[in-house]
Amino acid sequence: MRPKLFRLTTIDNSLDILLKGQLKYLNNAFEVVGVANDSGRLSSVAKREGIRTIGIPMQRKISIIHDLKSLLALYRLFRKERPSIVHANTPKASFLGMVAAWLARVPHRIYLVTGLRFETVHGPLRLILKTIERISCLCATKVIPEGEGVKKTLYREHITKKPMEKILNGNINGIDVEYFNRSKDILTQASDIRNGSNAFTFIFIGRMVRDKGINELIGAFHKLLSEDPSIRLLLVGTFEDKLDPVLPETKQLIETSENIEFVGYQNDVRPYLAASDILILPSYREGFPNVVLQAGAMGLPCIVTDINGSNEIIIPNRNGIIIPKQNTEALYQAMKHCIQRPETVKEMAQEARPLIVSRFKQQDVWRAILNMYNSLK
């Protein structure tokens, strides 16, 4: 009989996207069960990965009553199912999952630390979020930082003293370098997106929120546009006006500028990456951003902020540019540099894919995770 392995995320979207393929791979050695809040995607995850999934109501925002109900539901689930391993990522699922697994005496409780929310807030909320992280780490038998930056932050902020090692070079799932490739079909779709235009095209992929640096991106692009009206910006993602809205003037520019194309959420971002010249991710915080790996695998250099994860993927002037976070002027200068020196962009593009393939190939990451599980005593 295979030992039970429970993988937890707060929302089913994270199970669906962040752990795609990995759950099916691990299910050969373990009885894998996916647990998340079910917004309608758990059934498709179960079918694709060949695993059992269980919906537990959870939400990202802090709500004492709702969170206590979620904690009780997880505790009852673990007591009933008796998993050998509970492995959680995303902040809320990790906190609730680690506490419930500790109460239920699950032998192996793994907390995979990705983005640290407390880094971008101040005051009482920062103290609350740091306390949550400390409790999550305390209840875990093993803490895995997604990258060296996360590891240093956990030690520096006195979140935990436990020994920690990242898996391979970081990132929780690696990148499917065969899927993220410039196939003939993808290039045809990219040509349709460009619609005959040779304009220098920047692209952003992700949630359209303040925390992702959208205000700075639109500000820098708008300034650059006054100097070069031929440039183009593709925006792929969705707004979250209730959780983390962008400035009203930012949204107005997105909606009114003829040089900005907002295409919303896309199941397949490859054609949009292939239709672009450089990816921009001006986030305030990340764990280990998949979109930078995806862009690199598609042969795109990136402009990223100097934050955890991003600064471990990008090697300055080899596969991209690193700038200070929350700095519109620095972003403007980096974008201007790329437009004025297309040969430099081309050189970085040539190195982009090899640097991703050599460090973040998906199968290598999966094998390392399986070896980690098998090493547990």
Residues 273 and 227 in one domain: yes
Residues 132 and 240 in one domain: no
Check residue 243 and give its pLDDT.
79
The kind and range of the H/E element at 234 are strand 232-236
Give the count of domains, the chain.
2
Residue 179 lies in a domain: no
Residue 301 lies in a domain: yes
Check residue 21 and give its pLDDT.
95
Which residues contact residue 288 at a Cβ distance below 8 angstroms, ignoring those fewer than 6 apart?
A: 114, 146, 147, 150, 170, 171, 172, 308, 309, 312, 313
Residues 9 and 131 in one domain: yes
Residues 241 and 272 in one domain: yes
Residues 226 and 297 in one domain: yes
Check residue 60 and give its pLDDT.
87
C-beta of residue 238 within 8 angstroms of C-beta of residue 264: yes
CATH at 66: 3.40.50.2000
Per-residue pLDDT of the chain (377 residues; tens, 9 = 90+): 899 999 999 999 999 988 999 999 999 999 999 999 999 999 999 999 999 999 999 998 889 999 999 999 999 999 999 999 999 998 999 999 999 999 999 999 999 998 788 887 889 999 999 999 999 999 999 999 998 989 999 999 999 999 999 999 988 899 999 999 999 999 999 999 998 899 999 999 999 999 999 999 999 999 999 999 999 999 999 998 887 899 999 999 999 999 999 999 999 999 999 999 999 999 998 878 999 999 999 999 999 999 989 999 999 999 999 999 999 999 999 999 999 999 999 999 999 999 999 999 999 999 999 999 999 96
Q: Which residue, 283, 269, 278, 282, is CA-closest to 348?
A: 278
Q: How far apart are CA 368 and CA 212, in angstroms?
A: 30
State which residues form the domain around 20. Answer: 4-174+362-374
Beta-strand ranges (E) seen in 102-216 are 108-113, 142-145, 201-205
Residues 163 and 189 in one domain: no
Q: How far apart are CA 194 and CA 218, in angstroms?
A: 20
Phi and psi dihedrals of 269, rounded to 5?
-90, -5
Residues 278 and 319 in one domain: yes
Residue 23 lies in a domain: yes
Residue 8 DSSP SS3: strand
Q: Which residue, 301, 232, 294, 230, is CA-closest to 266?
A: 294
Residues 323 and 369 in one domain: no
Residue 170 DSSP SS3: coil
Q: Tell me the whole-structure pTM to 2 decimals.
A: 0.86
Residue 156 lies in a domain: yes
Which residues contact residue 200 at a Cβ distance below 8 angstroms, ignoring those fewer than 6 apart?
A: 228, 230, 231, 232, 277, 338, 339, 342
Residues 334 and 188 in one domain: yes
Residues 192 and 289 in one domain: yes
